[in-house]
Structure 1
Amino acid sequence: MPRMAQFILTLIVGLALLTWAASGVVQTTAREWFERDVSSRAQLVLVGASQSLANAWYGDPKDIEKQLTDLARDERVMGAAACDADLNPRSSTPGFPEEFSCWAVGSRVRAADPNEYDVGRFQEWSTIANLPTGRLHVSASPVTSQGQDLGFVILLHDLSYIERREAQARTFLLVAFGFLAVMALGVPMFVARWARYGWSAELRSMLRGGGKQKREFQPILSDVRELVGRMANDREDMPGQWTAERLKQTLNRHLHGEKVMIVANREPYIHQRTSDGKIEVQHPASGLVTALEPVMRACSGVWIAHGNGSADRETVDRNDHVRVPPGEESYHIRRVWLTEEEEKGYYYGFSNEGLWPLCHVAHTRPIFRTEDWRHYQVVNQRFADTVCSEVDSDDPIVLVQDYHFALAPAMIRKRLPSATVIMFWHIPWPNAERMGICPWRNELLDGLLGSSIVGYHTQFHCNNFLDSIDRYLETRIDREQTAVVMRGHRTLVRPYPIALEWPVHWVETADSPKECRAQVWRDLGLKPNALLGVGVDRLDYTKGVEERLLAVELLLERHPQFRGIFSFAQLAAPSRTKIERYQNLNQVVEDLAARINQRFGHDGYQPIILLRSHHEPPEVFRFYRAADVCYVSSLHDGMNLVAKEFVAARTDLKGVLVLSEFTGAARELTEALIVNPYDLEASSNALAAALTMPAEEQLDRMRSMRSLLGQFNVYRWAGKMLVDAARLRNQERVAGRLSTRPTLGSKG
């Protein structure tokens, strides 16, 4: 029950009880007062008439009757009678009640022992009598002459008027208390509402920043601000419901809508000139681009990247800018130009022959060359200088992406000390012992510690990074807060598992799964009863493409029922083809596919369909929506967004994901069939289980994984980093203000 209703009910009950008690008191008091009044009046009347009655006592009885009639003229007097000393009636008014005869009253008027006295045989007497007709006041008074009692006079007063007056008093009392009740309820409620309205209006004005800050409101304002802050923090931490619009609001609320800058080697849109001379826009096969491009569409800003498309120079303005996406143009790409020698040393050499195999446990020996390291330094400095040329404030927000720019955070920090630099390392971080292989490990670690935040996909990689810092640099490590302090600068180390936009743009524009299946079946020449598996990767030795094809071979060997029915389509985008290890991998995969096809293929049936070319997202998602199973067999991967893309594509809740346990995605998509890709027998059995899995089980697994992807999407990923960055900025600003305050005892 609301408090107001409780208050009103309590007040009404209290007033009712008070009215009931008061009416009883008033009724009793009024009755006693009226009865005393009647008794006094009767005595005065009788005393006043005593002498005239005595004079007429022995005369004509009519004279006595006349005097009695005069006594009864008052409307409240019901009757009067005169009795002699022997209790015989002398006279009475008409209709005098027989119940009050001379004998009946005389016994009460007579003195207790009259024989002891010569006079005064009668005494004053009165009583209240209840008759069927109502209550009467009966009084008797002696009539004396010369000290001798002649008799007595009886006077009857009708008391019904008292009851009428009691009723009137009771009615008045009820009306009065009713009025008081209404006033007691109405006036306080009106005053309370008026006061609350004024109080609320004043408080709202102060909460909006207007009006005078009254002292009495300060405790409330403090509590409200604290609550709002807590709610805002809880909302940022709350999973689900993250959208592009919410990310914009988060940026505006926490970072005042400041421009976001991304530094990445890969650009999200590449302009290539085709063989017929036209310029086409390509989307690179990159998990980094898949994740970050929706964030830039939501937040706008500048994406600084290496321009390596054959038509990239032709499509930029004089400031090397181009607005993207085509047709939407919500942000800029700032292209940075590298010479062929710089690209070879920085990208192919140090980044992908050195750091890439160093960070991935895929049994490829890292190669470190001094010349490559010099180019790596030069290119990092060029990108840092480009950031500084693009900023419009001294504290910009810069998101540095991946292992290509390990030195850039410290370089940016040197030029822009107040900048918020978030470094996200998209690949695994090796353990401290393995990190020691790199001749320039200290420089790399020092460069990364120029960041405000260093992010990884998993806590395991965060721990490896902290262990490397602990082993090779002189710093203070806060293990509880997972932060590193070096030369007075504090760097947070946090896990931020990367994700996809939700819903995925390419899924919303794709055909239905049924139509996609029909198109893929037609393009690949598959039989109507065929089953299709799909793998989507850059052609990279860390992706386990060889192990994947070998697992398919073992599946067909151990489970002959799938021969002639099951085909595996491997979409393999050529990657880093200038590196010998990748050239060899390309040939190995081609030879392996040919051998399996020769062994099990027949009559137009190919178990391995190797599609080695760049595939645009619409085509990739067409395969996702058509396939019965997707196999991600990475030997070591930071996250692997292919697994998440496949789940996101399956709006029909069909299909099965077979996922390597050596991916970050395996920690989240636990409803997938998790395998060790090195264990070919277990992997082939998982493929067989996937191809025979009941539709109901597929639905349950897919629904659970899709729910997780919807909650933990890329907008939440970016929002969490930006919110953490905003909190760090605020802490640094407060610390800066405190450090500038004079200490106790200082002058000035």
Structure 2
Amino acid sequence: MTDIDPSLLQAYPGGMWGLLATSLLLSGLAVALSTAMFMRWRSAAGPADEPLFQNTGPMAETARQLLREFEKNSGDHDNPLVSWTPDTLRRILRTELPGAQVIVVSNREPYIHNLKDGEVDLIVPASGLVSALEPVTRACAGTWIAHGGGSADKITVDEHDHVQVPPGKPAYTLRRVWLSEEEQQGHYSGFSNDGLWPLCHIAFTRPLFRASDWETYEAVNQKFADVVVEEARNERPIVLIQDYHFALLPRMIRRRLPEAIIITFWHIPWPNSEVFSICPWREQILDGLLGSSIVGFHIQFHCNNFMESVDRFLESRIEREHSSISYGGQTTLVHSYPISIEWPPAALEAQPPVEECRRKVFERYGLSDDMKLFVGVERMDYTKGIVDRFQAIEELFTNHPEWIGRLVFLQIAAPSRGTLPAYQHLHQECVGFVDAFNQRYGTDGYKPIIMLAEHHTQEEIYNVYRAADACVVSSLHDGMNLVAKEFVASRDDEHGVLILSTFAGAARELLEAVIVNPYDATAMGEAMMRALTMPAEEQRQRMLRMREIVRENNIYRWAGSMLQDAARLRKRNSIQKVTENPQQQNLGDNIVRMFDKRKSLMRDKTTA
């Protein structure tokens, strides 16, 4: 007999026999309702027992009961008033995905072991992806598969390349995958970051596509697929694939684990179909991603671009009403899941009061008490608009020279992808601009721009956030940008101004930020002037609302929304298995469509 989801069996009195009886009823019901059944929706979030069918009687009631059971566990979590915590995630796993194994796949690992002076040194990378996913994996007690690139990574794993993390309080398993230098160059530096990264960000840096890089990209994706299959405890894991490094991985896993729920989250923008057509392997990338059960993006705009690319380059059926793509006999959902941060952030626990943070930071950099401090925090990357914000400061000083000597901009720019020419050029451009700027506007005791091209811990970064008068996020194109949300979360004093690029996904949520066009240096300079002179009460009102948004839409809600959709797919697949003959399948498909319609409307209402 075909395997059936245990959670579906539990919904029926009599277990398997009850389910078989329901199947027989459905067979007759399919004929009776084939010409009379239609959907009627009074409200997106209406009660499950509203009249969905014109027909009455025991068979129609059985169908209604099946639909109610199909959606019964998810209603509470869809409520926007639910407080999203690690316990919420655990409850979803326990009630809606009992026994499910969660596997996370990313290129970057959450913990790195390096050798330093003969000792093993533990590093937690200051990465938006890591800070977002690490608390989720802890809550799910899952397995995280990532490239092991630390100099001591190999000596800290067991015979199965496993290490339990976090150190001192293990909550999940880190499985490391070993890549050669050639594999790293072709997969990570080459196709991923010389090709896909500039292609998707449209930041006026030409994408470079080399056949040798593509071959390595395929090989590394296959290596990770082999490890996922090896780590899977059964045929039905929940696999959360992260980012553009693994566009081919979903299809590779699907071939070997056809019943897995595969959710691929694309952390960067997706370009329009015209830009995407530049990629020589566009069809293969789309085919790979459509091996997913769900493809997720930060915002709906990127979902739309993805569906347009599929529509243009693959023979498929796009159902925009349900945000789904039918391709190769499989349906893939395409949804937006705005990523966020942990609330409250773990890095905030050890932070001293804001006044003390400010005093320490000002002492460290020799700033007088009456100065204003603006900060920028990101990787050294040409998509972040670092030079553009420096040019905005120059416009500010030109138009409002009274701020010369009274404003300091502290730029933390962690080194990134330093082997790539575009990043080397950016570093040189930033250093040259800062040196010339400080010579023009600085004095012996005053540097208007302090640039720190070095790595900082999360605790150090939060210390700077709390000391600042404003944080500037001037991304030229960004999927979300978590720096904006981290700054908001850090300000429990309810002060400080966020200056935020309209081209960052976060601008769709943090509407109380001062929104800017980073390509307009003059306007951005005026936005900085506005931040410098904004009354304390206005700062407080804006920060209160932004903190409310970040608190409600935290990382647990991001992960929980995907896990809920995974649970619904599991239940939908179970119903389709129960209704296996043509007459039953017609009814099962209608029930599934009704369920999808209701959930789509509820999603729209919740996020409106």
* Aligned-partner Cα distance in 2 for 1:225–1:715: 29
| Distance verdict in 2 for CA 1:351–1:260, change over 3 Å | same
Q: CA deviation at 1:224?
A: 9.1
What SS does the aligned partner of 1:395 have?
coil
Q: Pick from 353, 369, 374 the counterpart of residue 194 of structure 2.
A: 353
* Aligned-partner Cα distance in 2 for 1:266–1:580: 21
* Aligned-partner Cα distance in 1 for 2:295–2:540: 37
Match of 1:461 in 2: 302
Q: How many residues align?
A: 535
The answer to whether 1:679 aligns with 2:516 is no
* Aligned-partner Cα distance in 2 for 1:311–1:436: 41
Q: Pick from 343, 347, 351 the counterpart of residue 502 of structure 1.
A: 343
* Aligned-partner Cα distance in 1 for 2:326–2:66: 31
Match of 1:658 in 2: 499
| Distance verdict in 2 for CA 1:220–1:516, change over 3 Å | farther
The answer to whether 1:417 aligns with 2:249 is no
* Aligned-partner Cα distance in 2 for 1:550–1:715: 37
Larger radius of gyration: 1
* Aligned-partner Cα distance in 2 for 1:705–1:229: 35
Match of 1:140 in 2: none
* Structure 1 spans left out of the alignment, 5+ residues: 1-205
* Aligned-partner Cα distance in 1 for 2:547–2:162: 37
Q: Pick from 465, 475, 478 the counterpart of residue 634 of structure 1.
A: 475
Matches within 5 A, 1:276-295: 276-295=117-136
- Give deviations 1:481-525, integer Å, cap 9, x for gaps: 111111211100001010111111111221111111111111111
- Is contact 1:247-1:715 (8 Å) kept? yes
Match of 1:329 in 2: 170
The answer to whether 1:700 aligns with 2:559 is no
Amino acid at match of 1:653: E
- Give deviations 1:417-464, integer Å, cap 9, x for gaps: 001000000000010011110000000000000000000011110010
- Is contact 2:11-2:69 (8 Å) kept? no
Q: CA deviation at 1:560?
A: 1.6
Q: CA deviation at 1:311?
A: 1.3
* Aligned-partner Cα distance in 2 for 1:444–1:396: 23
Q: Pick from 247, 254, 264 the counterpart of residue 89 of structure 2.
A: 247
TM-score normalised to the size of structure 1?
0.69
What SS does the aligned partner of 1:542 have?
coil
The answer to whether 1:645 aligns with 2:495 is no
* Aligned-partner Cα distance in 2 for 1:621–1:322: 28
Q: Pick from 85, 90, 106 the counterpart of residue 264 of structure 1.
A: 106
Match of 2:52 in 1: none
- Is contact 2:392-2:522 (8 Å) kept? yes
The answer to whether 1:430 aligns with 2:263 is no
- Is contact 1:409-1:447 (8 Å) kept? yes
Match of 2:530 in 1: 689
* Aligned-partner Cα distance in 2 for 1:741–1:249: 36
Q: CA deviation at 1:226?
A: 7.1
- Give deviations 1:631-688, integer Å, cap 9, x for gaps: 0000000000000000000000010000000000001000000000010011011111
Q: Pick from 616, 622, 625 the counterpart of residue 463 of structure 2.
A: 622
* Aligned-partner Cα distance in 1 for 2:393–2:11: 65
Match of 1:233 in 2: 74
Match of 1:477 in 2: 318
| Distance verdict in 2 for CA 1:739–1:673, change over 3 Å | same
- Structure with the bigger RCO (C-alpha within 8 Å, sep 6+) is 2
* Aligned-partner Cα distance in 1 for 2:302–2:334: 10
Match of 1:565 in 2: 406
Match of 2:209 in 1: 368
What SS does the aligned partner of 2:176 have?
strand
The answer to whether 1:379 aligns with 2:220 is yes
Match of 1:29 in 2: none
- Is contact 1:207-1:221 (8 Å) kept? no
What SS does the aligned partner of 2:88 have?
helix
What SS does the aligned partner of 1:481 have?
coil
| Distance verdict in 2 for CA 1:353–1:208, change over 3 Å | closer
Cα RMSD of the aligned pairs, angstroms, is: 2.3
- Is contact 1:285-1:538 (8 Å) kept? no
- Is contact 2:396-2:528 (8 Å) kept? yes
Runs of 4 or more consecutive aligned structure 1 residues displaced over 3 Å after TM superposition: 206-213, 217-232, 740-744
| Distance verdict in 2 for CA 1:371–1:228, change over 3 Å | closer
| Distance verdict in 2 for CA 1:633–1:218, change over 3 Å | same
Matches within 5 A, 1:1-400: 232-239=73-80, 240-274=82-116, 276-400=117-241
- Give deviations 1:84-139, integer Å, cap 9, x for gaps: xxxxxxxxxxxxxxxxxxxxxxxxxxxxxxxxxxxxxxxxxxxxxxxxxxxxxxxx
Match of 1:513 in 2: 354
Q: What is the identity percentage for the equivalent residue pairs of Structure 1 and Structure 2?
A: 54
